[in-house]
Amino acid sequence: MAHITERLIWILNGFLVFLYTAVGNLHAIVIAVSSIFFVINAPQEQKTWAMGAACMALAASLITPAPVPTFLLVMSIGGWVGLYLEQYNRIAQRWNLIRGQALYSLAGLGFTLYQTFGLGSAINSDPMMMQGALYLNGLIGIAMYVIPIGFLAWLAQSILAHPPTPATPETLINTVRTRGR
């Protein structure tokens, strides 16, 4: 009986380790699922770019510091909501979502490399250079918040640019062309 209990404890511990790791990387898991659906639903000409953006977003969500994974997740979820609400040009909307996610992932990875290799602290010997490095650190920190907020503002503007219609754009165009017949 002790042998069976010991095996159950080992299995339970393994499950708890898996659960703890999954919760710790929840941003990355949700971004990976969202990005896979972006790749699957992308038109053929956008699939390669969508895969590249998905890989960069996953890498950024795993290795970048605090604000980047959260904002990538918000951008991804906001992108799906925007894609669902868009009725007029979904292909262009999807491309803009892929592009925005890729650009922010690239900025986040660059931010991580800048911090990891201490590029701003390498010039501390000269007071003027140190002041410039502090200014650059401030700009980079602000950019990590401004880029996703700007993306979400653009997303809201592109969704709200067209007034709500009683039917799909294809139906409206067909009605106008046939004069309601």
Report the distance separating Cα 57 and Cα 104, nearest Å. Answer: 8
111 CB contacts (<8 Å, ≥6 apart)? Answer: 64, 65, 68, 140, 144
Tens-digit pLDDT profile for residues 142-163 = 999 999 999 999 999 988 887 7
Query: What's the predicted TM-score (pTM) here?
Result: 0.81
Q: Quick check: is 8 in a domain?
A: no
Q: Quick check: is 139 in a domain?
A: yes
Q: Quote the pLDDT of residue 132.
A: 80
The one-letter code for the residue type at 61 is S
Report the distance separating Cα 181 and Cα 177, nearest Å. Answer: 9
Question: Mean pLDDT over residues 64-91, rounded?
Answer: 90
What average pLDDT is seen over the chain? 88
Q: Quote the pLDDT of residue 159.
A: 85
Q: Quick check: is 4 in a domain?
A: no
Q: Quick check: is 18 in a domain?
A: no
Q: Quick check: is 102 in a domain?
A: yes
Contact indicator for 111, 144 with CB cutoff of 8 Å: yes
DSSP string, the chain: -HHHHHHHHHHHHHHHHHHHHHHHTHHHHHHHHHHHHHHHHS-HHHHHHHHHHHHHHHHHHHHS-THHHHHHHHHHHHHHHHHHH--S-HHHHHHHHHHHHHHHHHHHHHHHHHHHTTTTGGGTTSHHHHHHHHHHHHHHHHHHHHHHHHHHHHHHHHHHTS---SS-HHHHHHHHHHTT-
Question: Mean pLDDT over residues 74-99, rounded?
Answer: 90
Tens-digit pLDDT profile for residues 114-124 = 888 876 666 66
Q: Quote the pLDDT of residue 139.
A: 93
- Split into its structural domains, the chain has a count of 1
Q: Quick check: is 54 in a domain?
A: yes
Q: Quick check: is 1 in a domain?
A: no
55 CB contacts (<8 Å, ≥6 apart)? Answer: none
Q: Quick check: is 126 in a domain?
A: yes
Quick one: what percent of the chain has pLDDT higher than 70? Answer: 96
Burial class (CB in 10 A: 0-12, 13-18, 19+), 42: buried
CA angle in degrees (0–180, nearest 5) for 107-109-115: 100
**Residue 76 belongs to domain spanning:** 27-178
